[in-house]
């Protein structure tokens, strides 16, 4: 949620959650709310309330449903809506921490088919830990970047469901497209395992997962070095993954 509002340059103010279950398990609920509170602290926003519902006829034992939403604020004059994006702008991809809560229907299918090898070592960690790595929250470093270099950032995109194929193009005006370099998308070990084990085609990987790119900045060519240095100072791994081009035909996103 906080990454989603961040793309417009907005600062998260507060978060509310909804936890529903058949019969409340206090330890489980406390762990879940504790995780939400940790995320709020990491994002600099307040957890101001929520709802806990017990509905015995709706949920089997041990299962629960979780939802939430965030409210953020940005000065109207500072909203990033993609209007500044121009042909020749560069896409800077910022590293993700893993699947980021997206594509898990496919993840579960591949994991089950592989025999649930939780202890398999992937990139120096257990597979189950790589698959369940918490989503990286970019709020504090990106807000700091906006304060220092806001004029040089034309747009931002959070890579969620729809992956690289569908998310970045949302902030690009009509008449423009994206040329993303496939060679710049180096799959982290967990995504490499998912693709190999699931025999997932490249196009499906790019449409379903972030493939190691959790957040994208759209910036003019002459700002790439400055913003790259600023990202390094924030400890955010990054790489140039493509550029904005004139749209040709109906297919506005090319990855190749």
Tens-digit pLDDT profile for residues 34-48:
999 999 999 999 999
Give this prediction's pTM.
0.92
Report the 3 state secondary structure along the chain.
CHHHHHCCCCEEEEEEEEEEECCCCHHHHHHHHHHHHHHHHHHCCEEEEEEEEECCCCCCCCCEEEEEEEEEECCHHHCCCCCCCCCCCEEEEEECCCCCCCCHHHHHHHHHHCCCCCCCEECCEEHHHHHCCCCCCCHHHHHHHHHHHHHHCCEEEECCCCHHHHCHHHHCCCCEEEEECHHHCCCCHHHHHHHHHHCCCHHHHHHHCCCCEEEEEEECHHHHHHHHHHHHHCCCCEEEEEEEEECCCCCCEEEC
Per-residue pLDDT of the chain (256 residues; tens, 9 = 90+): 999 999 999 999 999 999 999 999 999 999 999 999 999 999 999 999 889 999 998 999 989 999 999 999 999 999 999 999 999 999 999 999 999 999 999 999 999 999 999 999 999 999 999 999 999 999 999 999 999 998 999 999 999 999 999 999 999 999 999 999 999 999 999 999 999 999 999 999 999 999 999 999 999 999 999 999 999 999 999 999 999 999 987 889 999 9
């Amino acid at each position: 949620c906080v990454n989603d509002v961040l793309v417009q340059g907005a600062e998260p103010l507060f978060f509310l959650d909804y936890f529903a279950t058949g019969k409340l398990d206090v330890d489980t609920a406390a762990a879940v709310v504790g995780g939400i509170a940790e995320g709020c602290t990491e994002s600099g926003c307040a957890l101001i309330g929520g709802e806990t519902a017990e509905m015995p006829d709706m949920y089997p034992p041990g299962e629960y449903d979780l939802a939430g939403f965030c409210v953020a604020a940005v000065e109207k004059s500072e909203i990033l809506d993609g209007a500044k994006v121009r042909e020749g702008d560069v896409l800077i991809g910022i590293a993700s921490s893993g699947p980021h809560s997206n594509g898990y229907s496919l993840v579960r299918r591949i994991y089950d088919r592989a025999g649930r090898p939780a202890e398999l070592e992937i990139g120096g960690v257990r597979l189950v830990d790589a698959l369940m790595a918490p989503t990286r929250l970019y709020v504090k470093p990106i807000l700091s970047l906006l304060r220092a270099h806001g004029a040089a950032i034309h747009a931002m995109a959070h890579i969620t469901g729809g992956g690289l194929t569908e998310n970045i193009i949302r902030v690009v005006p009509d008449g423009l497209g994206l040329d993303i370099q496939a060679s710049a998308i180096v799959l982290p070990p967990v995504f490499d395992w998912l693709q190999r084990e699931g025999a997932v085609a490249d196009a499906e990987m790019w449409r379903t997962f972030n493939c190691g790119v959790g957040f994208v900045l759209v910036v003019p060519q002459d700002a790439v070095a400055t913003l790259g240095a600023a990202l390094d100072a924030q400890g955010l791994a990054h790489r140039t993954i493509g550029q904005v081009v004139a749209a040709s035909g109906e297919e506005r996103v090319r990855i190749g």
